């Protein structure tokens, strides 16, 4: 099947299942992630990952981050900087320590155990942005804390990767790794222009009908069910750990910053998604021969499952604020 046909199938299928997800009471992004799993190598084999889809997916991440910058209330972000910083620090420290300890107990070598901790210290800002935007919460206190904390989280995760590479060897970061954060900051700057409303309108139009479905669908395409019958108990344990460490760690940080309980819980849920940032960190580990392919495969499944769980947790908590 040609790449153009695969792209059409991916876009149309992702949009349809995204709307179905909304009708069933889930966030649209959940349906889009599931669409990728169904149409990809895991089940139907209609769409395969490849250079074209990967490149368009990366553009989708950048456009999503740029759009988020355009929609973010800079004043609200500044007012909640303390909350975002405490949330980010706790959201990194708790997963980093507990993942390292638990994976050591499970029998991983100490350097691999530390890398598991670094991968799940990261946060996916893009998935949460989609849910916050859908709920009209991007400009709220919770939205500002989550966005600020997610950006800081990713910077801390990248610094940890750099330190890890210095200690254990391999090749580390490149400018492309930092691009999503850079583009988000550009969006914040463009937000100050008089024409930002028109730019936002066209960015959303291009994203919703083309780039965003490819990006969210492509995450599901990375799921493989091969060998899952042997590793599923480990996957379940690590997925629960991925969700719990970020949810409670970030929530504790938000509470220390004096957010009330409903807002802190929403912040915690908003930080659970690992998505593209954790995938980038895991990919660095694979490319630098720091981790084996089977460990990378387990990481990808845990990342994607936690990414699917995150919006399911976040959406009802946003309604309680």
pLDDT for 107-128, tens place per residue? 888 888 998 999 898 887 777 7
Tokens of 192: 């100050």
Please return the burial class of 280, using the count of CB atoms within 10 Å of its CB with bins 0-12, 13-18 and 19+: buried
**Domains observed in the chain:** 58-319 (1.20.1530.20)
Confidence (pLDDT) at 268: 93
Per-residue pLDDT at 291: 78
> Which portions of the chain are predicted below pLDDT 70?
25-27, 72-73, 76-77, 169-178, 224-225, 227-229, 276, 283, 287-288
C-alpha angle 190-307-117 in degrees, rounded to nearest 5: 95
In sequence order, the 6+-apart residues with CB closer than 8 A to the CB of 166 are 172
Q: What dihedral do alpha carbons 183, 217, 219, 187 form, nearest 10°?
A: 10
228/225 Cα distance (integer angstroms): 5
Rg (CA), the chain: 18
pTM of the model: 0.73
CB-based burial label for 297 (10 Å; 0-12, 13-18, 19+): buried
Determine the pLDDT at residue 43: 87
Nearest alpha carbon to residue 108 among 234, 229, 5: 234
Between CA 158 and CA 121 the distance in angstroms is 10
Per-residue pLDDT tens digits for 196-233: 888 888 888 898 899 989 988 887 787 766 766 677 88
| pLDDT of 210 | 92
Kindly provide the b/e burial profile for residues 114-149, where b requires at least 16 CB atoms within 10 angstroms of the residue's own CB: bbbbbbbbbbbbbbbbbbbbbbebbbbbbbbbbbbb
* pLDDT of 227: 65
pLDDT score, position 134: 76
Phi, psi of 113 (to 5 degrees): -60, -45
Whether the CB-CB separation of 249 and 93 falls below 8 Å is answered with: yes
Q: Where are the beta strands (DSSP E) in the chain?
A: none
Q: What is the pLDDT of residue 276?
A: 66
Q: Record the tokens describing residue 207, joined without a space.
A: 């994203």
| Cβ atoms < 10 Å from Cβ of 35 | 28
Q: What per-residue string of b and e applies to 45-58 under the rule 16 or more CB within 10 Å gives b?
A: eebeeeeebeebbb
């Amino acid at each position: 099947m040609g790449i153009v046909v695969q792209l059409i199938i991916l876009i149309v299928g992702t949009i349809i299942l995204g709307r179905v997800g909304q009708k069933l009471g889930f966030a649209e992004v959940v349906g889009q992630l599931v669409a990728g799993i169904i149409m990809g190598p895991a089940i139907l084999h209609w769409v395969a990952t490849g250079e074209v889809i990967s490149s368009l997916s990366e553009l989708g991440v950048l456009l999503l981050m740029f759009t988020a910058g355009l929609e973010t209330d800079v004043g609200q972000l500044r007012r909640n900087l303390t909350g975002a910083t405490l949330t980010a620090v706790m959201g990194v420290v708790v997963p980093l320590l507990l993942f390292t300890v638990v994976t050591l107990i499970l029998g991983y070598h100490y350097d691999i155990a530390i890398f598991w901790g670094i991968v799940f210290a990261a946060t996916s800002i893009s998935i949460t942005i989609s849910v916050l935007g859908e709920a009209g919460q991007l400009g709220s206190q919770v939205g500002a804390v989550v966005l600020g904390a997610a950006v800081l989280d990713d910077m801390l995760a990248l610094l940890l990767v750099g330190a890890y590479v210095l200690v254990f060897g391999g090749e580390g970061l490149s400018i492309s790794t930092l691009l999503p954060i850079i583009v988000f900051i550009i969006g914040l700057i463009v937000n100050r222009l008089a024409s930002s409303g028109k730019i936002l309108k066209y960015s959303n139009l291009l994203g919703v009908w083309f780039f965003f479905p490819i990006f969210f669908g492509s995450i599901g395409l990375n799921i493989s069910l091969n060998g899952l019958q042997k590793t599923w108990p480990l996957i379940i344990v690590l997925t629960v750990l991925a969700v719990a460490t970020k949810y409670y760690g970030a929530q504790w940080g938000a509470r220390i910053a004096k957010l009330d309980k409903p807002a802190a819980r929403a912040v915690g849920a908003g930080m659970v998604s690992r998505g593209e940032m954790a995938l980038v960190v895991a990919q660095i580990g694979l490319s630098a021969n720091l981790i084996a392919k089977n460990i990378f495969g387990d990481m990808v499944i845990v990342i994607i499952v936690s990414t699917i769980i995150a919006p399911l947790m976040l959406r009802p908590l946003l309604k309680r604020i």
